[in-house]
Structures are given as structure tokens and as C-alpha cells.
Amino acid sequence: MRDVLFVAVGGSLGALSRYGAGLAAAKFFGKGFPWGTLLVNVGGCFIMGIVLELMLDLEARSTETITPALRLQMAFWRQGVAIGFLGALTTFSTFGADTLRELEGGRPLISLANVAANLVLSLAAVWVGVAVMRAMD
């Protein structure tokens, strides 16, 4: 039941964050490019890099040192943040719809720019998130 609650609360917060980011992006950058989707995908990938390092650190401990408190932390990061929050925040399905809409709207260059920007920046954001956490060791 704890894991379900972590996913539910994390998912709710991620969905609300996604909604707010979309509104803010449209207000600040306009609607000529799907900026909201790009921002949440890149930001979510950056956070995922941090979460991956945190989980790897927790999982690297010997089984004798994994206390109930550490198990709770592991569940929070995996179910609450990675699955719940980031699952709701990042919007790959919206990315696909945005890309197709631009393509079908006769804007193939915007469509290709969207694919390239999401792919390159999201992968770079995961790498930066991991690098930040490793630099803090």
C-alpha cells in the first residue's frame, strides 16, 4: 500500500507540475514551438539522472546495512519520484503528438527540431544530473 501511495502522490505532483510548466512556457515563450513539452522532458531527464545516482548509492550497500529507513528511502525514490512524479511530469506521448501535429501542419522543420531538441537535450540532461551527483561525492 505504501508504494501505491508513493506513486499516487508523486504522480499527482508530477501532473500538476507538467500542467503548470505548459502554461508558463506558453506564456513566456509563445505557442510557436512546443516549449512546455521540451522543458518538462529535459528537466525530468535531469532529475532522473540525480535519482539514478541516489538509487545506485542506496542499492550498493550490503544487505546487512539496509535498514527499514533505507528501504523506505529506496521506495520513495523509485516509486514516488522515478515512477510517480517523473512518470507524470515527462510527456513522451505529448512529445509524439506535438511532433505529429507540426508535421501534419506542414511544418516539417519544426517537427524535426522538436525531435532533435528533445532527444539531444534530454540525454544531455540525464548525463548532467549524473555528473552533478558524482561531483558531490
Read off the pLDDT of residues 110-134 as tens digits, 9 standing for 90 and up: 999 999 999 999 999 999 999 999 9
pTM: 0.80
Per-residue confidence (pLDDT) for residue 59, from 0 to 100: 83
Return the pLDDT at 134. Answer: 93
Among left, alpha and beta (phi > 0; psi -120 to 50; other), residue 75 is alpha
User: What share of the chain in percent tops pLDDT 70?
Assistant: 100
pLDDT digits (tens, 9 = 90+) for 68-116: 888 898 899 989 999 999 999 997 878 888 899 899 999 999 999 999 9
Mean pLDDT in residue range 61-66: 82
1-42 per-position pLDDT tens digit: 999 999 999 999 999 999 999 999 999 999 999 999 999 999
C-alpha dihedral sign at 92, 86, 127, 76: negative
User: Which residues span the domain enclosing 11?
Assistant: 2-135
Long-range contacts of 52-61 (CB under 8 A, 24+ apart): 52/126, 52/129, 52/130, 53/129, 53/130, 53/133, 53/134, 54/133, 55/82
Specify the number of domains making up the chain. Answer: 1
> Which one has a higher pLDDT value, 72 or 66?
72
